[in-house]
Amino acid sequence: MKFPYSETVLEHFRHPRNVGKIENPDGKATEGSPACGDMVAVYIDVDPKTKTIADIKFESYGCASNIATGSIITELAKGKTLDEAKKITWKEASEALGGLPKIKVHCSVLAVEGLRSAIQNYEERHGLVKEQKPTTVEVIRQRLKKVINPLTGLNVVRTNIVRDIEIKDGTVRVLVDIPQDHQFAHAIKEDITERIEPLWDVKKLVVEFTE
């Protein structure tokens, strides 16, 4: 039999390590979207003394590359310090898997981003963001690029449905150009909240719709 993946990829695909969910995790993140395709969720528990990743789990709604990368990334990250884990690249994950097809980068990169976002989520929730740069419109815009518009499968910034971003005294106001009663209004609002609220200087987030 001939399969399109390396033996290591197939092994991780068949028997993914560290699969599941951590209840009340110290940090968590979801990357991707069911609307655009693959999706991965990463959960971490952190040893507060050593700042190392004590436990890590992942869930995947994705193809073989997505599952295998999720699996290998948890193995690579476990026991590492947050700073070390943050530096794990897609290339390292891919090499550890014995290589991934180029066309599959976009599905596998989600797991790497998921790990970084989960660490970031932990640091933000625990006041560990070192350089506390003030949140600017550009910072918000960058974060919103990870919010996928389920209608198009593209991010809300690229598809121009973010009409306006305003920051005033710690309150961030995001104006989204879809009706309030739109089928995906709730999902998009939740996604935006998840990405913006953890920012250290954001006291309040208001997501508004145009109609």
Of the candidates 68, 107, 111, 162, the residue annotated as catalytic is 107
Is 67 among the residues that bind other proteins (CB under 8 A)? yes
78: left (phi over 0), alpha (psi -120 to 50) or beta: beta
Considering only the stretches 58-66, 82-90, 133-141, 171-179, report the one whose residues sit in contact with other proteins under the rule CB under 8 A.
58-66
Which runs of consecutive H residues, i.e. helices, occur in 46-89? Answer: 64-77, 82-86
Residue 161 or 172: the one with the smaller Cβ distance to other proteins is 161
The angle that helices 105-125 and 64-77 make with each other, rounded to 10 degrees, is 40
Active site residue 107: yes
Catalytic, 63? Answer no
Residues 154 and 193: beta-carbon distance below 8 Å: no
* Sheet strands (E) in the chain: 27-32, 39-47, 52-61, 148-149, 154-155, 162-168, 171-176, 204-209
Cα(36)–Cα(101) distance, integer angstroms:
20
Binder among 7, 34, 126, 179 for other proteins (CB under 8 A): 34
Selected from 6, 11, 22, 35, the binder of other proteins by CB under 8 A is 35
**How many angstroms separate the CA atoms of 72 and 58, rounded?**
10
Q: Is 150 in the site for other proteins (CB under 8 A)?
A: yes
Specify the stretch interacting with other proteins by CB under 8 A; choose among 76-84, 100-108, 124-132, 195-203: 100-108
- Does residue 157 interact with other proteins by CB under 8 A? no
Please report, as a single letter, which amino acid is at residue 164.
D
Decide if residue 64 touches other proteins (CB under 8 A): yes
Should residue 106 be labelled a site residue for other proteins when binding is judged by CB under 8 A?
A: yes
| Residues designated as active site | 36, 107
Site residues for other proteins per CB under 8 A:
1, 3, 5, 10, 13-14, 16, 19-21, 30, 34-41, 59-67, 103-104, 106-107, 150, 153
